[in-house]
């Protein structure tokens, strides 16, 4: 049975930290599952990491449904959260509910995540009331990157910090089961975590959140030049993979691959008969 939102809440209640990884396909999800990480986010950051865009803005509902399906197929007991992409919930509540339903019904996830505070509170409430768990997202909200003037820490002045606190409390009141705090000062994230009954999941927001989320590709060093401050590389697979591919190319060029071990044979007499029959 997959982890439920009650299981996630129980971890917060007993003080057990919650690790979460953002993954986008079957293979990555399988690896995360093998590591016994309980939560997987199918993030709309696939726009940059997988699709090669410069932001999350171009990601579509069809993209999110398809990648959610991949991740679900690669997992067993993990709770899968799927991002609602830009303009899938901002236009009206009917649209938002329909799209959240697609991610659960077609994609197979157990909950959805959407960005923002006060402007989306009634949308969150409506989705939750319809039986779909919602994870909120405050601080740096990548879908609003144009309005925020880039990817930068949020809540560094008293007015914006107060707004994030208020929005977190509003999301909890609306029924969100958890809130992601992205690029929020660690002291502010700690304060919000203490104020909320529901778990906070931090990304670049310090140690005192209820859990942490990082992108699969960032953790493993799969991207050559992208290494944000809030990410710790636990491996440097980009270098290893490039070297492995070079070794393969060298073996092909030097006729060292394939050997008999990587090939299949046929009886000599059968081959001779086949040649005769073909003439």
Q: Which residues are catalytic?
A: 182
Tokens of 55: 């932001």
Contacts of 209 by beta carbon, 8 Å cutoff, 6+ apart: 181, 189, 190, 193, 200, 201, 202
Q: Which backbone phi and psi does 278 adopt, to 5 degrees?
A: -80, -10
**Smallest Cα–Cα separation from 138: which of 101, 157, 113?**
113
Alpha-carbon distance values, 146 to 54, 56, 87, 116, 203 (Å): 12, 11, 14, 14, 20
DSSP 3: P
Q: What are phi and psi of 96, to 5 degrees?
A: -60, -45
């Amino acid at each position: 049975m997959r982890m439920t939102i009650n299981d996630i809440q129980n971890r917060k209640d007993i003080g057990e930290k919650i690790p979460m990884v953002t993954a986008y396909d079957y293979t990555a999800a399988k690896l995360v599952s093998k590591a016994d990480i309980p939560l997987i986010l199918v993030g709309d950051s696939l726009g940059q990491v997988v699709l090669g865009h410069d932001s999350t803005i171009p990601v579509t509902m069809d993209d999110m449904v398809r990648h959610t399906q991949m991740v679900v197929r690669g997992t067993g007991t993990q709770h899968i959260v799927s991002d609602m992409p830009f303009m899938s919930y901002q236009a009206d509540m009917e649209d938002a509910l329909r799209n959240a339903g697609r991610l659960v019904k077609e994609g197979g996830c157990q909950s959805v995540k959407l960005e923002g505070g006060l402007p989306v509170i009634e949308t969150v409430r409506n989705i939750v009331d319809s039986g779909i768990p919602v994870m909120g997202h405050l601080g740096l909200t990548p879908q609003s990157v144009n309005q925020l003037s880039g990817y930068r820490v949020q809540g560094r002045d008293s007015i914006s910090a107060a707004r994030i606190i208020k929005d977190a409390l509003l999301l909890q009141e609306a029924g969100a089961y958890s809130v992601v705090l992205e690029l929020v000062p660690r002291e502010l994230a700690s304060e919000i975590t203490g104020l909320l009954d529901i778990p906070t999941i931090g990304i670049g927001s310090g140690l005192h959140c209820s859990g942490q989320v990082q992108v699969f590709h960032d953790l493993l060093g799969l991207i050559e030049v992208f290494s944000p401050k809030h990410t710790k590389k636990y491996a440097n697979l980009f270098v290893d993979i490039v070297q492995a591919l070079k070794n393969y190319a060298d073996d092909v060029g030097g006729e060292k691959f394939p050997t008999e071990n990587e090939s299949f044979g046929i009886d000599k007499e059968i081959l001779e008969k086949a040649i005769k029959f073909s003439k």
